[in-house]
Amino acid sequence: MTLNEVGKMAGVSRMTVSRYFNGGYVGEESRAKIEKIVQETGFRPSAQAKALKTRKTETIGVMISSLDSALLVNVINLLHASMEAAGYQILIMRYLQSKQLLIQQIRNLIAKGVDGLIVSLVVADDEIKKELELCPVPVVCFGPMGLEGISSVIHDDNSGLALIVDELVKRGHKEIGCLGPDFDSQMSSVRISAIQCEMKRKGLPVRKDWFLQCRDDTATHYEIGRRLAAEVISLSSMPTAMIALSDQIAIGALAVLAKAGVKVPVQLAITGYGNIDVGSFLNPALTTVDMNLQEIVDKITFLLLEQINKNQKIVEKVHVKPLLIVRESI
């Protein structure tokens, strides 16, 4: 069935049927006639045909590093709601922190005809920058880093981790360590650098044996926390506070520390990063940093839709300030 056939059955023009399905103005009488035919026949216009005519598929490609991050899952849920409200659906692909996979999947999404791309950046270099610059559709990146020449929404990890270090120092902690995944990854290195720079600025010692890492790329953050907590317990000299690079790492660590009889925060203070829901229900509840995810998603949505609607490239770099959430774990 075609729009012409629906129009003939309803006694209206093809143009009127087209306006009906595309949200344009249609008189009440004509609308009622079209709706009656639609209900009787179950007709829906072809998405492919519409895409060929408008050169739009009303889909947005979203690239994320993984699906085992509660933080990224929250971002995806917020993005889905935001884009759906604007009339778009999202297609999600993960690149597992692999640059080559990221580039390949960017090309896959472009081939599928997406109207725009949203890329969570945890790896970034000139090759990725060039690939995104060549994209025929608008692009917005988000993460702890941005790319020159590409619109980016940056969650300010430097400020967030400085807030944590400052709060720990106010509470008398001078011996601070860190729990994280492979520090060679760009996201980890950004966060480690932020912690160490703030500690040095405050005149605190930075002991490498207290900055513990797990190099197993297959391990979840919960498992990383459990493994590194076992290492903390075995240290000949423990710090008084540990900053975990994610809430999941902190939660995994807390489970092992509790089982070993290490009292938090009396013997060891623990903080996370990300403010996932479960952190507030722990005993002790987890001190963390809220990255302002709703504001991040609002900025991403605005920058992408502005480019799509104006049909022009807009390059803007937006920094979103985090919030410190102090609870009983410190």
Q: Write the secondary structure of the chain as one string of H (helix), E (strand) and C (coil).
A: CCHHHHHHHHCCCHHHHHHHHCCCCCCHHHHHHHHHHHHHHCCCCCHHHHHHHHCCCCEEEEEECCCCCHHHHHHHHHHHHHHHHCCCEEEEEECCCCHHHHHHHHHHHHHCCCCEEEEECCCCCHHHHHHHHCCCCCEEEEECCCCCCCEEEEECHHHHHHHHHHHHHHCCCCCEEEEEECCCCHHHHHHHHHHHHHHHHCCCCCCHHHEEEECCCCCCHHHHHHHHHHHHHHCCCCCCEEEECCHHHHHHHHHHHHHCCCCCCCCCEEECCCCCHHHHHCCCCCEEEECCHHHHHHHHHHHHHHHHHHCCCCCCEEEECCEEECCCCC
d(CA 203, CA 225) in angstroms, rounded, equals 28
In this structure, what token pair is assigned to residue 8?
A: 């003939």
Identify the pLDDT of residue 46: 59
Those residues with Cβ within 8 angstroms of residue 20's Cβ, 6 or more apart along the chain or in another chain:
26, 30, 31, 34
Quick one: CA torsion of 104, 110, 113, 117, rounded to 10 degrees?
Answer: 110
Q: Are 165 and 195 in contact (CB under 8 A)?
A: yes
Q: What is residue 59's predicted lDDT score, i.e. its pLDDT?
A: 95
Domains of the chain by residue range: 3-45, 56-156+293-321, 157-290
Per-block average pLDDT, block size 10, for the chain (330 residues)? 88 85 79 89 64 70 86 92 94 89 92 94 86 93 90 94 98 97 76 96 96 89 96 96 97 98 98 96 97 96 95 93 97
Q: Which residues are CB-neighbours of 88 under 8 A, at least 6 positions away?
A: 58, 59, 60, 115
Q: Fold for 56-156+293-321, please state it.
A: Rossmann fold (3.40.50)
Please report how the helices 126-133 and 99-111 are oriented relative to each other, as an axis angle in degrees rounded to 10.
Answer: 10
Interatomic CA distance for residues 62 and 69, integer angstroms: 15
What residue has token string 């720990």?
Answer: 168
152 exposure class (CB count in 10 Å sphere: 0-12, 13-18, 19+): buried
Residues 6 or more apart from 206 whose CB is under 8 A from it?
196, 199, 200
Domain range 157-290, CATH architecture: 3-Layer(aba) Sandwich (3.40)
Q: What is the pLDDT of residue 38?
A: 87
The pLDDT value recorded for residue 123 is 75
Q: Is the dihedral of CA 270, 276, 278, 281 positive or negative?
A: positive
Q: Smallest Cα–Cα separation from 72: which of 62, 60, 81, 82?
A: 62
